[in-house]
Amino acid sequence: MRKWISFPQKQGTASRQAHADFPEEAIYEREAGRSGFFGPATHFHHQHAPTGWSDWQGPLRPRLFDFNQLKDINPQSPWAVPTLLHNAHCKFRLWDLSEPMQKLARNADGDDLLFIHDGSADLFCDYGHMSLRDGDYLVIPRSTNWRLVPKEPMRILLIEATNGAYQLPDKGLVGNHAIFDPAVLDVPEINDAFKAQYSETSWQIEVKRHNQVSVVTFPYNPLDAVGWHGDLAPVRVNWRDIRPLMSHRYHLPPSAHTTFVADRFVVCTFVPRPIESDPGALKVPFYHNNDDYDEVLFYHAGDYFSRDNIDRGMVTFHPAGFTHGPHPKAFQAGREHKKKFTDEVAVMLDTRDSLSVGDAAAGVENPEYVNSWQEKK
């Protein structure tokens, strides 16, 4: 048995409530916390922005990747797509697909989470048929056979839970139907579209195991199920089905927006919501040291209210070890309560283990991002 050393203390001038009612002489709050907003935390009040560095040398830095500039991410197979960010428990990739897959895919290394950034498709898998559109999350359980038939060109975010599985977060006090009701989760159907693809012609499956691909040939289409029953299947939920937790008096941490949980990481979804209206409440994300987790944000749509000069399809990467938070203009706009509503949609990946950057991602990095917190004179 073990527990955190816990002895809440207070020194100097400090607010009584985190993220609200800051002292006038120190309007910059910084949270130093553990275990991804679930562990002990201390809130500092600073006279200067915690991100007000004037220079940065060395490899640990905030990073911005413009994945709209990626090349060669349009192979037929998802297993041929370059890995952009990765560790032992997670792989983060982007895949462009415009033609029907000619082979089935099977991931024997772990569950896959697909987020449809652009386009739409028909999914055919062991469990049946399902239509996919932009904004859909699709969880594909490990070792499921599947293929996509695009209806229009697609860009797909793939997050692999290497040697792991995706589950739903514990919703605790707010109950099982908060954020999204499990009733909105869709599964594939054994419908007419699925039956129409039964075939006695040869099909191949590309099986990925230990990051190596084997090809298995069948003299028929192995997607030939006539029915199934059980509680394991691919599931779909669209960000438009998510009803975010809100508080008009308190800025909720990113953990309140958790959508999926894996063994060593979580996936969160930021969707449009009202901005806090209480005069004393913080109205932008708080400056924080989340020193146990690396943070990745994939920007899907809208206006990213805590960032400057970020376009859809870009990705920010804030490794553990330094304070990060809103850009200066966003912080000031929050103080003035200029915006009453956020219209952003973003996918966040928080990993307990440090991520490495792949060559393809490094090739589209904006090295000036580290300077974007500096006040413009």
**Which residues, in sequence order, are CB contacts of 343 under 8 Å at separation 6+?**
272, 302, 303
Residue 171 identity? K
- Compute the distance between CA of residue 10 and CA of residue 1 in angstroms, rounded to an integer: 28
Instruction: Copy the structure tokens of residue 91.
Output: 């792989």
Q: Which of 209, 231, 247 is nearest to 19 (CA)?
A: 247
Residue list, annotated binding site for homogentisate: 324
Give just the sign of the alpha carbon dihedral 226, 229, 235, 238.
positive
Residue list, annotated binding site for Fe cation: 288, 294, 324
Could you give the C-alpha distances from 106 to 78, 164, 180, 350, in angstroms and in order?
A: 10, 15, 29, 25
**Alpha helices (H) in the chain, listed in sequence order:** 192-195, 328-335, 359-362
Residue list, annotated binding site: 288, 294, 324
Catalytic, out of 251, 300, 318, 327: 251
- Compute the distance between CA of residue 116 and CA of residue 132 in angstroms, rounded to an integer: 8
- Compute the distance between CA of residue 155 and CA of residue 264 in angstroms, rounded to an integer: 26
Residue 191 identity? N
- Compute the distance between CA of residue 118 and CA of residue 94 in angstroms, rounded to an integer: 11
- Compute the distance between CA of residue 278 and CA of residue 258 in angstroms, rounded to an integer: 24
- Compute the distance between CA of residue 93 and CA of residue 95 in angstroms, rounded to an integer: 7
**Which residues, in sequence order, are CB contacts of 140 under 8 Å at separation 6+?**
107, 111, 112, 113, 114, 125, 146, 234
Task: Indicate if 177 belongs to the active site.
Answer: no
Residue 225 identity? A
The residues annotated with a catalytic role in the active site are 251
